[in-house]
């Protein structure tokens, strides 16, 4: 990899896809990888370490090893992607990345002001509410029971600054302060501010798909998003399937009426399984469905779900191929014409037009 390449280290596939989409919007060739491959013909390489759901003792060394391999390839700069509400092993991974990259300082800006996720007075707000007064307080894996960044991270960060950020102007100001001795980290909008600092300009958004009647399978593994996504799909006339799932029935629906939504649901079969087991079972069924009916589009919601599906199907490299809506990565497996993968975090809604 040449030194002109920007490297992103993300803890889940939806974050990697989101930043690859942002890079493409700013005129840069981008690729998502599940294992670092420096031979890619891309200007931005987003590596998914798949560490969001691991314990810190496993996540930190995996992150450090990935960053070491990336640093050896001499990238232009490295960005550590973190969740906007700091779920996962943010502190452990950031410290590990700093050590592996040889950086004594870092700046963490997780805010996405355009989506009303801001940092004020050292606390995260979603809209007008402090984080602990939102649905994130009931997150099944990473409940956000406080809004204070120091408490969310589990301690002071030493060489890491976590400044307030309430507006796009704040992001620009923080980006301007980043120099070669600082590891930048945070959300997609801070990453975009860094790209604009280098002269990259955002392009107009393209269409999510050029197929007039694409075979579309939407997959939702987010417990928090499932009720809204189920109701949205039914309002649009889509077939809805939840646990327990039968691949043959889903495939028949795709062959017949058209798009379908599959998800974990909220019944007894769902509540009996841990989040990792739910994602694994959902991925297995999706693979069985795609073996019966090749899809033109896969809408994958939630980082754990998207990661499980992609790993199950054996895709290690995904090229950003369309400028989609903000927050959505549009990718295709390298060397394949289909499916088009549309990936987003579980905590944001799909843009209405993307269901197509």
| Ramachandran quadrant class, 233 (left: phi over 0; alpha: psi -120 to 50; beta: rest) | alpha
Give the model confidence (pLDDT) of 164-205 as tens digits. Answer: 999 999 999 999 999 999 999 999 999 999 999 999 987 755
**Has residue 212 got a pLDDT over 80?**
no
The tokens describing 257, both together, are 């009426």
The torsion angles phi and psi of 182, rounded to 5 degrees, stand at -115, 135
- Torsion of the alpha carbons at 267, 270, 275 and 279, rounded to the nearest 10: -120
CA-CA distance, 326 to 41, in Å (whole number)?
Answer: 24
The tokens describing 50, both together, are 């798949």
Band (pLDDT 50/70/90 cuts) for residue 24 is very high
Give the model confidence (pLDDT) of 117-135 as tens digits. Answer: 999 999 999 999 999 999 9
CA-CA distance, 197 to 58, in Å (whole number)?
Answer: 34
**Has residue 257 got a pLDDT over 80?**
no
User: For residue 132, what are the CA distances in angstroms to 53, 91, 135, 143, 259?
Assistant: 20, 19, 8, 9, 36
Does residue 343 sit in helix, strand or coil? strand
CA 176 to chain centre: 25
Q: How many CA atoms lie within 13 A of 243 on its CB side?
A: 22
CA-CA distance, 32 to 12, in Å (whole number)?
Answer: 11
Residue 198 contacts residue 44 (beta carbons within 8 Å): no
Residue 208: predicted pLDDT: 45
Pick the closest to residue 340 from 205, 217, 212, 206 (CA basis): 217
pTM of the model: 0.90
Average per-residue pLDDT in the chain?
91
Residue 263 contacts residue 282 (beta carbons within 8 Å): yes
CA-CA distance, 329 to 342, in Å (whole number)?
Answer: 6
CA-CA distance, 50 to 279, in Å (whole number)?
Answer: 13
Give the model confidence (pLDDT) of 277-294 as tens digits. Answer: 888 999 999 999 999 999
Residue 64: predicted pLDDT: 98
Give the model confidence (pLDDT) of 50-68 as tens digits. Answer: 999 999 999 999 999 999 9
Q: Report the range of poorest mean pLDDT among 111-115, 127-131, 212-216.
A: 212-216
CA-CA distance, 115 to 97, in Å (whole number)?
Answer: 27
């Amino acid at each position: 990899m040449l030194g002109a390449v920007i490297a992103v280290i993300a803890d889940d596939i939806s974050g990697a896809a989101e930043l690859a989409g942002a890079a493409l919007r700013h005129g840069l060739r981008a690729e998502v990888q599940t294992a670092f491959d420096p031979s890619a013909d891309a200007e931005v390489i987003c590596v998914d370490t798949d560490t969001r759901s691991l314990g810190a003792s496993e996540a930190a060394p995996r992150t450090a090893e990935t960053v070491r391999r990336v640093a050896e390839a001499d990238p232009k700069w490295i960005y550590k992607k973190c969740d906007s509400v700091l779920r996962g092993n943010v502190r452990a991974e950031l410290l590990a990345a700093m050590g592996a990259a040889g950086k004594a300082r870092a700046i963490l800006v997780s805010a996405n002001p355009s989506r009303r996720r801001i940092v004020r007075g050292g606390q995260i707000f979603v809209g007008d509410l402090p984080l602990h007064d939102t649905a994130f307080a009931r997150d099944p894996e990473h409940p956000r029971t406080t809004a204070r960044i120091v408490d969310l991270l589990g301690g002071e960060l030493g060489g890491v600054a976590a400044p307030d950020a309430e507006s796009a102007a704040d992001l620009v100001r923080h980006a301007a302060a980043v120099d070669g001795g600082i590891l930048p980290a945070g959300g997609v909008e801070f990453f975009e501010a860094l790209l604009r600092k280098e002269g990259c300009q955002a392009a107009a958004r393209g269409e999510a798909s050029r197929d007039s009647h694409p075979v579309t399978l939407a997959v939702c593994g987010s417990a928090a998003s499932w009720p809204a996504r189920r109701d949205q799909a039914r309002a649009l006339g889509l077939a809805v399937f939840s646990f327990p799932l039968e691949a043959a029935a889903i495939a028949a629906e795709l062959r017949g009426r058209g798009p379908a939504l599959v998800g974990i649901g909220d019944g007894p079969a769902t509540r009996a399984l841990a989040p990792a087991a739910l994602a694994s079972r959902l991925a297995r069924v999706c693979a069985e469905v795609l073996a019966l009916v090749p899809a033109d589009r896969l809408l994958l919601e939630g980082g754990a779900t998207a990661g499980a599906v992609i790993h199950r199907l054996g895709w290690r490299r995904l090229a950003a191929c369309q400028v989609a809506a903000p927050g959505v990565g549009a990718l295709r497996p390298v060397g394949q014409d289909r499916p088009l993968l549309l990936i987003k975090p579980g905590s944001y809604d799909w843009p209405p037009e993307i269901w197509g």
